[in-house]
């Protein structure tokens, strides 16, 4: 009986652990991206009237980015499903000039975003850039 119960618990754990892990891996704009943009970008990109013409505080960031044409290139700022064609990501990686863009790598005058942050933004875009 004891042996049977522990086998059942083990099977239950094997079913549940991957489900928990994949939920934790999924990137959420509100939880993972908006706070980062607010901390690193919104001081310059506040009202949308500044250079770059985009507002990146939490109330405006999604609408300023997703399916919005870049003012510096012929790309969308964020093209859902396509990180390589999303000017936002190129601008953060410093690959924007190769894509016909202009200006400097973002954040301007700051330390580039680390690999973890870039990977989060990449997988958010690849996964459809949901709000």
Q: What does the binding site for ligand HEC look like in residue numbers (CB under 6 A)?
A: 37, 40-41, 43-45, 51-52, 54, 70-73, 77, 87-88, 91-92, 103-104, 106-110, 113
Residue 52 near residue 88, CB atoms below 8 Å: no
Name the one residue in this structure whose structure tokens are 């973890």.
Answer: 116
What are 5's two structure tokens? 């119960």
User: Which residue is closest to ligand HEC by CB?
Assistant: 103
Residue 107 near residue 11, CB atoms below 8 Å: no
| Of 73, 74, 86, 91, residue with least CA distance to 123 | 86
Pick the closer one to ligand HEC by CB: 84 or 104. Answer: 104
Residue 34 Cβ vs ligand HEC, minimum distance, rounded to whole Å: 11
Residue 110 near residue 9, CB atoms below 8 Å: no
Residue 106 Cβ vs ligand HEC, minimum distance, rounded to whole Å: 4
Residue 125 Cβ vs ligand HEC, minimum distance, rounded to whole Å: 12
């Amino acid at each position: 009986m004891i042996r049977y119960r522990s086998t059942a618990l083990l099977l239950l754990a094997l079913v549940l652990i991957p489900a928990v892990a994949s939920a934790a891996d999924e990137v959420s704009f509100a939880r993972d991206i908006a706070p980062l943009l607010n901390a690193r970008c919104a001081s310059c990109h506040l009202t949308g009237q500044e250079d770059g013409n985009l507002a990146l505080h939490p109330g405006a960031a999604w609408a300023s980015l997703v399916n919005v044409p870049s003012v510096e290139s012929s790309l969308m700022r964020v093209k859902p499903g396509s990180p390589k064609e999303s000017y936002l990501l190129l601008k953060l990686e410093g690959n924007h000039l190769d894509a016909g863009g202009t200006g400097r790598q973002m954040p301007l005058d700051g330390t580039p975003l680390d690999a973890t942050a870039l990977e989060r933004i990449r997988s958010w875009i690849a996964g459809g850039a949901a709000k």
